[in-house]
């Protein structure tokens, strides 16, 4: 019955993480304190499902509102806050907010939101759906929001910018105030198969640099589609004018996705950097620059890299050596192979990576073809802290005598169940991992129970996992939406508590189980 402020009268920052879609209404007591705190963070939250609820509390009419910083991060990368017409009359301008980092569904929702944030000085926004030509109509010259905005970060990386002019028109809304612009996007013109339309230095200079008279800092990561792979020299020349030569700019052609990747250094985005074998062919606008010398500038800010590997491709020793150049530890690496591939010899370890994720692009390919390369990556990274792998590959590692106790630093294991692997049941596989003295968290994703399992089988498996992994604190099972799941398993999950006194807390829903254990 008490409010949050009654319990914490000095509360200044509120952070809420991992909110399930079914728990949206439970946020109301927390959101009601927005006018009285200085910073709000909602991380891994179904923003699209509870957009109205969030906006009602964020855009209220509190005269003494203290909120200055707000971070709203969606559960997935394809969606975000959604605001549609008609705009609710109860929404009022929020004058205290100056920093906003947010996932928004589309440009229309962003426009409507900015109408109520006149004092914003920093905007960091991620869009969920493609940008098209119709978005140009959203930003007439008469629309003049956020007159004090000095920093804009646009993350358009999980959708496609079909019409770059729509992005430009949005940026130009802030031509009289913007000092810093960071731009990350994937561009593909709708007429890409009939014309050589791509983004280069001449276009960026004409449409953005010349127009933004107050801008002092401009950095970008742009992937621009072009079916012709012989334009790289022309692109580099477009960045060798007086203005661009004050910056370090690299470009290479991604032969897997048929895009030119153009980026400024140092890399400032806290987004994973996508790399492939082609990156060793990077050319720079500064003629004396070399990629091997600049890799630390590339790895400094990024949380990790995503490595794309083509089918039957062999990663060269030169490329593998380049991966080791970054000296900053705590990075992640995600391996995404199109098919079976090879790795050339390497004697040194990858000490900067503590998170390894291996995600086969086509799960219907036999997993045993990836066993040797997966073992090689694990041998190169003996000190990984987080391993994210599918159930079929994990089984192949067990068959090949890879035991979990070989990784003394492993703390988190994430096992994704592939769509066509009902017979390779993840819980049973994990029971075969053996003993671990470091692992304390296990997440199973996209779980589909084998129809041959009884209601008791998963209970027995979980109990055995607890016995093998004595430091286990949390175990979660996220069920696939199309899983053939017997709800009686949920009813019987309490049996674990009777058998294992370490189980202290259970959180259950129709598609999710979270178990908490004491030490």
Q: At what angle do helices 164-171 and 107-114 cross, to 10 degrees?
A: 10
Which comes out higher in pLDDT, residue 54 or 506?
Answer: 54
* Residues 405 and 495 grouped into a single domain: yes
* Residues 372 and 326 grouped into a single domain: yes
Structure tokens at 210: 């010349």
Q: What is the mean pLDDT of residues 338-342?
A: 93
Q: What is the mean pLDDT of residues 67-81?
A: 91
pLDDT reading at 232 higher than 70: yes
Distance CA 497, CA 482 (A): 28
pLDDT confidence tier of residue 499, bands split at 50, 70 and 90: low
pLDDT confidence tier of residue 370, bands split at 50, 70 and 90: very high
**pLDDT at res. 342:** 94
pLDDT digits (tens, 9 = 90+) for 380-398: 998 899 999 999 999 999 9
* Residues 454 and 516 grouped into a single domain: yes
**pLDDT at res. 406:** 86
pLDDT confidence tier of residue 271, bands split at 50, 70 and 90: confident
Distance CA 365, CA 455 (A): 31
**pLDDT at res. 62:** 67
**pLDDT at res. 514:** 87
Domain tally for the chain? 2
Cross-strand partners of 509:
512
Q: Is residue 262 part of a domain?
A: no
Of 336, 309, 222, 235, the closest CA to residue 269 belongs to 222
Q: Is residue 503 part of a domain?
A: yes
* Residues 391 and 374 grouped into a single domain: no
**pLDDT at res. 464:** 85
Angle at 182 between CA 329 and CA 261, to 5 degrees: 75
Q: Is residue 208 part of a domain?
A: no
**pLDDT at res. 501:** 60
- Taking phi over 0 as left and psi of -120 to 50 as alpha, with beta for the rest, 434 belongs to left
pLDDT reading at 201 higher than 70: yes
Q: What is the mean pLDDT of residues 283-307?
A: 86
Most confident of 99-108, 347-356, 400-409: 99-108
* Whole-Å CA distances, 191 to 163, 188, 194, 324: 11, 8, 5, 39
* Residues 421 and 504 grouped into a single domain: yes
**pLDDT at res. 37:** 93
Q: What is the mean pLDDT of residues 399-418?
A: 91
13-22, 119-128, 452-461, 464-473, range with the lowest pLDDT: 452-461
Kind of pairing between the strands at 259-265 and 248-254 = antiparallel
Q: What's the pTM? A: 0.86
Q: Is residue 445 part of a domain?
A: yes
Q: Is residue 448 part of a domain?
A: yes
**pLDDT at res. 495:** 59
Q: Is residue 213 part of a domain?
A: no
Of 380, 399, 397, 233, the closest CA to residue 315 belongs to 380
478 phi/psi in degrees, rounded to 5: -105, 120
**pLDDT at res. 27:** 86
pLDDT reading at 118 higher than 70: yes
Q: Is residue 92 part of a domain?
A: no
Last residue of a domain, one of 363, 382, 401: 382
**pLDDT at res. 175:** 95
Last residue of a domain, one of 367, 382, 397: 382
How many Cβ atoms from other residues are within 10 Å of residue 440's Cβ?
Answer: 18
* Residues 338 and 395 grouped into a single domain: no
380-383 long-range contacts, Cβ below 8 Å, gap at least 24?
380/346, 380/348, 380/349, 380/350, 381/349, 381/350, 381/353, 381/354, 381/356, 382/349, 382/406, 382/407, 382/409, 383/349, 383/351, 383/354, 383/407, 383/408, 383/409
Helices (H) and strands (E) in the chain, counts: 15, 23
pLDDT confidence tier of residue 210, bands split at 50, 70 and 90: very high
* Residues 321 and 415 grouped into a single domain: no
The distance of Cα 408 from the centroid of its chain, to the nearest Å, equals: 27
* Residues 405 and 461 grouped into a single domain: yes
How many Cβ atoms from other residues are within 10 Å of residue 447's Cβ?
Answer: 23
Q: What is the mean pLDDT of residues 31-37?
A: 90
* Residues 390 and 467 grouped into a single domain: yes
**pLDDT at res. 364:** 84
Angle at 439 between CA 437 and CA 445, to 5 degrees: 155
Q: What is the mean pLDDT of residues 332-338?
A: 94
Most confident of 120-124, 399-403, 430-434, 466-470: 120-124
CATH number at residue 483: 3.40.50
pLDDT digits (tens, 9 = 90+) for 443-461: 999 888 765 555 557 777 8
Last residue of a domain, one of 340, 361, 382: 382
**pLDDT at res. 102:** 97
pLDDT confidence tier of residue 216, bands split at 50, 70 and 90: very high
Cβ neighbours for 260, distance < 8 A, ≥ 6 positions apart: 198, 223, 224, 226, 231, 232, 235, 251, 252, 253, 254
**pLDDT at res. 89:** 83
Distance CA 190, CA 308 (A): 25
Question: What is the percentage of the chain residues whose pLDDT exceeds 90?
Answer: 52
Strand, helix or coil for residue 379: helix
The distance of Cα 38 from the centroid of its chain, to the nearest Å, equals: 26
Kind of pairing between the strands at 217-225 and 259-265 = antiparallel
Q: What is the mean pLDDT of residues 342-353?
A: 88
* Residues 519 and 393 grouped into a single domain: yes
Q: Is residue 210 part of a domain?
A: no
* Residues 389 and 366 grouped into a single domain: no
Return the half-sphere exposure (C-beta side, CA atoms, 13 A cut-off) of residue 216. Answer: 4
What's the chain's average pLDDT? Answer: 88
* Residues 442 and 484 grouped into a single domain: yes
Concatenated DSSP letters of 270-325: SSPEEE-GGGGG-EESSTT--HHHHHHHHHTT-SEEEEEE-TT-EE-HHHHHHHT-
pLDDT reading at 222 higher than 90: yes
Cβ neighbours for 253, distance < 8 A, ≥ 6 positions apart: 229, 232, 259, 260, 261, 278, 281
pLDDT reading at 326 higher than 80: no
41 phi/psi in degrees, rounded to 5: -130, 120
Domain that holds residue 331: 303-382
**pLDDT at res. 490:** 57
């Amino acid at each position: 019955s008490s409010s949050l402020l009654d319990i914490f009268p000095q509360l200044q920052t509120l952070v809420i993480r991992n909110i399930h879609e079914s728990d949206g209404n439970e946020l109301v007591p927390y959101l009601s304190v927005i006018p009285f705190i200085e910073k709000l963070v909602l991380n891994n939250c179904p923003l699209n499902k509870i957009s109205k609820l969030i906006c009602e509390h964020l855009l209220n009419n509190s005269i003494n509102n203290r909120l200055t910083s707000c971070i709203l991060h969606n559960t997935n990368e394809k969606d975000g806050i959604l605001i549609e017409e008609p705009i609710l009359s109860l929404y009022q301008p929020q004058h205290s907010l100056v920093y906003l980092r947010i996932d928004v569904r589309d440009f229309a929702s962003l426009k409507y939101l900015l109408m109520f944030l006149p004092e914003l000085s920093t905007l960091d926004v991620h869009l969920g759906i493609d940008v098209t030509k119709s978005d140009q109509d959203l930003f007439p010259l008469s629309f003049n929001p956020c007159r004090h905005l000095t920093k804009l970060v646009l993350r358009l990386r999980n959708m496609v910018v079909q019409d770059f002019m729509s992005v430009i028109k949005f940026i130009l809304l802030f031509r009289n105030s913007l000092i810093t612009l960071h731009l990350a996007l994937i561009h593909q013109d709708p007429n890409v198969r009939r014309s050589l339309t791509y983004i280069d230095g001449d276009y960026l200079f004409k449409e953005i640099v010349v127009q933004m008279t107050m801008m002092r800092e401009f950095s970008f990561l742009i992937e621009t589609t072009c079916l012709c792979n012989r334009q790289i020299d022309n692109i580099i020349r477009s960045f060798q004018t007086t203005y661009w030569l004050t910056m370090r700019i690299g470009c290479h052609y991604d032969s897997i996705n048929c895009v030119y990747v153009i980026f400024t250094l140092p890399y400032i985005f806290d987004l994973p950097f996508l790399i492939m074998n082609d990156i060793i062919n990077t050319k720079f606008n500064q003629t004396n620059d070399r990629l091997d010398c600049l890799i630390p500038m590339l790895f400094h800010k990024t949380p990790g890299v995503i490595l794309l590997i083509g089918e039957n491709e062999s990663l060269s020793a030169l490329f593998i050596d380049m991966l080791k150049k970054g000296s900053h530890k705590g990075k992640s690496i995600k391996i995404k192979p199109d098919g079976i591939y090879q790795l050339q010899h390497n004697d040194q370890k990858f000490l900067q990576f503590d998170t390894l994720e291996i995600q086969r692009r086509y799960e219907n390919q036999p997993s045993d073809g990836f066993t040797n390369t997966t073992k090689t990556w694990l041998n190169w990274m003996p000190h990984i802290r987080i391993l994210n792998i599918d159930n079929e590959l994990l089984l192949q590692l067990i068959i090949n005598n890879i035991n979990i106790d070989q990784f003394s630093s492993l703390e988190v294991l994430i096992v994704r169940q592939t769509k066509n692997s009902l017979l390779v049941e993840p819980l049973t596989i994990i029971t075969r991992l053996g003993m671990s003295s470091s692992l304390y968290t296990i997440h199973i994703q996209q779980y589909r129970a084998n129809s041959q399992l009884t209601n008791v089988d998963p209970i027995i498996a979980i109990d055995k996992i607890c016995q093998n992994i004595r430091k286990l604190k949390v175990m979660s099972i996220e069920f696939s939406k199309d899983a053939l799941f017997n709800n009686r398993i949920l009813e019987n999950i309490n049996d674990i508590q009777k058998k294992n006194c370490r189980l202290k807390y259970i959180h259950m829903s129709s598609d999710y189980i979270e178990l908490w254990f004491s030490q």
